[in-house]
Structure 1
C-alpha cells in the first residue's frame, strides 16, 4: 500500500490509476463521467471507479493519505455502493466503488428485461440498477480489464413501459396538487414526471443513462423549463402547467415512435 505521507503534485491520472490498481482486491480502475465522454469543462472533476470482486476495504484508499472523505462500502446504497471526494494535487477526484459480482447479477437480470429503481439523493426519478452497465458502456478502462455490453434488447422493450407508468402516476399526483393550489409539490412532481419520461424515451432508444444532469436535454424534454417558468400560484395556472407537461411528454414520446399505455 502507498505510504500515507506520499503526495502527488502535479496531478497525474496515470499515477492515480496505478495507485488505486495496486490496492488489495482491486481488479480494474476506470475513468467515468464527463471526461470519459469527452464533454468535460476544464474545471470538471475526475470520476474514477474502483472495480473489485471480493475482499475490498475502503480503508486502503483512506490510507493513501489524499485529503477528503470516503464512505464505507454500501454508504450510497445497494447499487451505487459508495465512494467520496478526495483531492490529488490540485484536482478534485470522485472515487466510486463498484462490485463486479453485483455488476454480473444486474446484467443477468437486465438481459431478461428486469431492473430495480433505487432511491438516491439528487436523483429525482431514482437510480436504475442498470446504471452499472451504463457506466461500463461509457467508461474508459485505465487499468485491468472490464466487460462492456450492448443495451439488452429485452430491456429496451420493458424499461420504457415501466418508466412511463411511473411518469403517468406522478403526473396524476401533480394534477391533484394543482387542484389544491400546492405550488411547490406540483412543480416538483412535474419535474420528476419528466425525468421518468426521459428515462422511458432513452430506454426506447437503447441509450445508456448514467445520471440526470443532461437527462432532459438528451431526451428532448428541455421544453419543460418553459412550462415551469410560467407557473403561477393560481389553481388554474397550476392545472394548465400540469396539462402542458403531460402534453409535452406524450408528444415527445410519440415522435420517438413510442406507444404509451
Structure 2
C-alpha cells in the first residue's frame, strides 16, 4: 500500500505511526499511515486507490477537510482491518520543525484534540514513526534530525507549566459555585500542560492527550502518585479537587525547575 501511494502525484513518503509504530498496539489497534505530500494532493487519485484496496468507494478528505492541523485523509477497511490515511503537508511539517528548533510552538484548535493540537506533534510523529516508503529520502533525512530533541523547545515547553498554575487558580474561583464544566476544563488543561512539560523536560515527544498522563507518570522524577492524584481531581471537580490539583501543579513545577538528565 505504501509503495502504491508514493506513485501518486504529490505523495512523497508514507510513514506508519501510532501504537503500531511504537510497538504498544493491541490486536485490534488501527493501522495509521501518514501520507506526506507537497503541493496539492490528488484526492481523486487517492480515492480511486483507496477504493481498490477496500473494494468499495472511499471518501477522501482533502487538506483542511478534517481541520487545520490533522489536515485530511481517509478511513479504510481492508481485509477486515481498520487502516487510516492521514495527510501531512511536508512543507508545513518542516516549517514547524524549524520553529521547534528555535523554541517556538503553537497550540491550535483541532477536532479530536480537546486540549488543542500542539505543533511539536508534527516532528514527534516523524521521530516516532516507521518510514515505509520514501523514494526521495526526504522523510528519512528529517527523521534523523528529529531524533535529537531541541534544547530550546525543551525549555519553552517546560516553562509553559506556568499556565497550569493559572488554570488551577481559575478553577478555584468556579468550584465553590459548582460550575463543573469550567472546573473540569481548567483542570484538564492544567494536567495536559503538565504532561507536555514533563515529556519535554525529559526530551520525549508527546503527540496527543491519549495516554499522556500515564506516560508522564512513568517518566523519571515525576511526583509520586501523579496519575492517581490527577484522576482524583478530575473525578471530584469540587473545591477539594482544586486543592489536589494545586498540589500536583506545585510538585511538577518543582521537578521542572531542575536540570533535565
Q: Is this a same-fold pair by TM over 0.5?
A: yes
- The number of aligned residues is 237
Show the counterpart of 1:80: 70
Report whether the alignment pairs 1:120 with 2:110.
Answer: yes
1:11 matched residue in structure 2: none
CA contact (8 A) 1:25 1:52 kept: yes
Q: Distance in 2 between matches of 1:228 and 1:55?
A: 42
Note if 1:158 corresponds to 2:156. Answer: yes
Does residue 71 in structure 1 map to residue 61 in structure 2? yes
Q: Provide the C-alpha distance between the structure 1 equivalents of 2:196 and 2:63, rounded to a whole number of angstroms.
A: 27
* Separation in structure 1 between the aligned mates of residue 163 and residue 74 of structure 2, nearest angstrom: 30
For the Cα contact (< 8 Å) 1:204–1:258, is it kept in 2?
no
Following superposition of structure 1 onto structure 2, how do residues 109-148 of structure 1 map, counting pairs within 5 Å?
Answer: 109-144=99-134, 145=137, 146=139, 147-148=142-143
Which runs of no fewer than 5 residues in structure 2 stay unpaired? Answer: 218-225
Q: For 1:81 and 1:165, how far apart are their aligned partners in 2?
A: 30
CA distance in 1, matches of 2:231, 2:115: 17
Residue aligning to 2:227:
222
Post-superposition shift, 1:258?
A: 4.5
* Whole-Å separation in 1 of the counterparts to 2:101 and 2:255: 26
Partner of 1:5: none
Q: Which residue of 1 aligns with 2:188?
A: 191
Pairing of 1:85-124 with structure 2 (within 5 A): 85-124=75-114
Give 1 or 2: higher helix fraction: 2
TM-score (norm 2): 0.84
Unaligned runs of 5+ in 1: 1-15, 233-237
In the alignment, the residues of structure 1 paired with residue 115 and residue 186 of structure 2 have an alpha-carbon distance, to the nearest angstrom, of 10
Q: Displacement of 1:169 after TM fit?
A: 2.5
Equivalent residue, structure 1, for 2:178? 181
Give CA-to-partner distance per residue, 1:71-122, whole Å, 9 cap, x none. Answer: 1212233332111311112111111111111111111111110111111123
Question: How far apart, CA to CA, are the structure 1 residues paired with 2:86 and 2:36?
Answer: 9
Q: CA RMSD in A?
A: 1.8
Q: What is the CA distance between 1:36 and its match in structure 2?
A: 0.1
Q: CA deviation at 1:45?
A: 0.5
Q: Secondary structure at the match of 2:8?
A: coil
Distance 1:182 1:258 in 2: 35
User: Could you list the per-position Cα deviations for residues 184-220 of structure 1 after superposition, in whole angstroms to 9, with x for gaps in the alignment?
Assistant: 3312321221111111111111110112111111112
In the alignment, the residues of structure 2 paired with residue 55 and residue 184 of structure 1 have an alpha-carbon distance, to the nearest angstrom, of 40
